[in-house]
Structure 1
């Protein structure tokens, strides 16, 4: 097994992200790795196809601030030093790949909901991260609240 020196933990900051905490800490501790945490915010304009008749800048800034606070809280609770907390705006998979390349990440840890049927055909964030990464990817099975 290769030794991981730099690990990127990709979080959506939902309550289900808590399920990744122990796995990330255990792997980082076992490898003595630098641990980074990332949360990607898709721009509000993506949701509306970029055709919004108002300025969303202040709302986007509020989303960024809220995400930074939640990421800080998560990082404080992990029980392992976090080298970097990154909140970035863009397409989720693209930004995770960009940061992984920029920081020379050896392992990306991402949650996977294990969707079935049509959701599986449409793809998931974990699947997108896996297929474009230049490093190992660990997709941790997330148990949904309704499971």
Structure 2
């Protein structure tokens, strides 16, 4: 059985995030590993491809503030120090890869939900993380 020293749990802040965090916390405890949390806020310009000629900067700031508050709540539930909570902006799969490399993590845990068929096994972000690992 592998021994993990540092685990990164990438969460989407949905209700399903609790299950991902429970699993990640259990793995970290079992292995005596350092657990890090990550949430990536996707810029609205990426989601809409810049097709809408509007300034979304205020909305983006609100999304980032909500994400920060939610991430803090999850961290408190797990008694994690703030320095092990990471809030980034960009494409989730590439930001997960970058942070995992920077932190030199041994295991990345991501959730997948709301899919059917083969996509049920891996969502698009989870699939992107797997292929770039």
Aligned to 1:130: 130
Q: How much does 1:74 deviate? A: 0.9
Mapped pair 1:103 → 2:97: no
Instruction: Flag the structure with higher strand content.
Output: 1
Name stretches of at least 5 consecutive residues in structure 2 with no aligned partner: none
Shift in Å, 1:42: 0.9
- Tell me the distance in 1 between the aligned counterparts of 2:60 and 2:105: 28
> Aligned partners of 1:9, 1:127: CA distance in 2, in Å?
15
Are the aligned partners of 2:96 and 2:129 in contact in 1 as well (CA < 8 Å)?
yes
> For structure 1, which runs of at least 5 residues remain unmatched after alignment?
134-147
The equivalent residue for 2:80 is 81
Residue of structure 2 equivalent to 1:51: 51
TM (norm. structure 2) is 0.88
Distance 1:132 1:93 in 2: 8
Cα deviation, residue 107, structure 1: 0.4
* Counterpart for residue 66 of structure 1: 66
Over the residues paired in the alignment, what is the CA RMSD in angstroms? 2.0
> Residue 84 of structure 2 aligns to a residue in which SS?
strand
- Name the one with the larger helix percent: 2
Q: Give, in whole Å, the separation in 2 of the partners of 1:69 and 1:43.
A: 18
Change (3 A) 1:123 1:71: closer
Per the alignment, residue 115 of structure 1 pairs with 115
